[in-house]
Amino acid sequence: MIEIPAAAVLARNIDIVQDVGSLRARLAAWRRTGEAIGLIPTMGALHAGHISLLRKAKRYARRAVVSIFVNPAQFAPSEDFAAYPRSLEKDMALIEAAQGDLVFAPCVEEMFAEGFATAINVAGPAAAGLEDRFRPTHFAGVALIVAKLFNQCRPDFAIFGEKDFQQLKVVERMARDLDFELQILSAPTVRETDGLALSSRNIYLAAEERARAPLLYAALSISVSAIKEGVPISRALELGRAMLNEAGFAVDYFEARHAESLKPIALQGDGPLRLLAAARLGRTRLIDNLAV
């Protein structure tokens, strides 16, 4: 009996390409007939958050390409590159169900040819502090891969989640600075019913940690409410931090930033605010953010 690979059973109508030449050929055919193309860059292990980006893309464009690439350049040596969840077959089925048109899943050698020697350094307030303080090589790795994907796909737009709010701002900055001819769109964070932001890394949480994990969103919500009620920003942030510390989180940062520029903000009235936080529960690092 011939064994049919699960991917073929689950996802029959969605194509996958793994090299840039095939990707460009497919996209050129769509472009010739005037079909708009949206790109959703991901690292796979897809969940409803990723799929919300795909559904949004399909509202704005005839064609949506999902890239799946676990990008080694955005992981520090101490991080979980090797262990990062990979589930291509399930991902393909989810993309097909949401009417995605093409999956681009290059291997590391396709993205980093021998002798690869180029770097992109996004500086300024968007990239400074927050994640950058704890993952100093992260955004250079993200910017590099996103820039390559933009050149490889030349989409009309690309969509990023607000879940990774600082990443969204870094990508917006880079696209503007390097004159990429595309629009950057964003989509709100998709959450579990208890408030925990969906993340491919949530599977690392032990059952007892999973029960505490929604407190990150709860702490952000409480700080946002306090600021809205007129509590000084520094005091409101202390409330949120204390709540997390008491629940056994190790807080990396819990800060207020200008919602557009990500410049630090100390006083209410200095512009639209966004609270951004990262905290560790055991070996799992959670990030989240909320508009005030």
| DSSP reduced 3-state for 50 | helix
- Of residues 236 and 275, the one with the C-beta less far from ligand AMP: 275
Do the beta carbons of residue 38 and residue 157 sit within 8 Å? yes
How many residues touch ligand AMP under the rule CB under 6 A: the total is: 17
Q: What is the strand order of the sheet 273-281 is part of?
A: 250-258, 273-281, 284-291
| Residues in region 92-121 near ligand AMP by CB under 6 A | none
At its nearest, how many Å lie between ligand AMP and the CB of residue 74? 8
Can residue 67 be called a binding residue for ligand AMP (CB under 6 A)? no
- Of residues 185 and 231, the one with the C-beta less far from ligand AMP: 185
Burial group, residue 15, by CB count within 10 angstroms (0-12, 13-18, 19+): middle
Which residue, 261, 263, 226, 229, is CA-closest to 242? 226
CA–CA distance, 184 with 215 (Å, rounded to integer): 31
- Of residues 228 and 283, the one with the C-beta less far from ligand AMP: 283
At 85, give phi and psi (nearest 5°): -60, 140
- Of residues 91 and 226, the one with the C-beta less far from ligand AMP: 91
| Residues in region 152-191 near ligand AMP by CB under 6 A | 160-161, 163-164, 187, 189-190
Q: Catalytic positions, please? A: 50
| Residues in region 119-158 near ligand AMP by CB under 6 A | none
Q: x/- contact string, 32-61, with ligand AMP (CB under 6 A)?
A: ----------xx-----xx-xx--------
CA–CA distance, 157 with 136 (Å, rounded to integer): 28
- Tell me the β-bridge partners of 291: 274
DSSP code for 243: H
The owner of tokens 């903000």 is: 265
- Of residues 104 and 227, the one with the C-beta less far from ligand AMP: 104
Instruction: State the SS3 of 71-89.
Output: CHHHCCCCCCCCCCCCCHH
Helix (H) or strand (E) run with residue 276 in it? strand 273-281
Which CA distances in Å does 37 have to 58, 112, 190? 9, 25, 23
- Of residues 161 and 214, the one with the C-beta less far from ligand AMP: 161
The owner of tokens 């460009």 is: 24
Give the Cβ contact number of residue 239 at 10 Å. Answer: 16
Q: x/- contact string, 188-227, with ligand AMP (CB under 6 A)?
A: -xx------xxxx---------------------------
DSSP code for 256: E
At its nearest, how many Å lie between ligand AMP and the CB of residue 199? 6
Residues in touch with ligand AMP (CB under 6 A):
42-43, 49-50, 52-53, 160-161, 163-164, 187, 189-190, 197-200
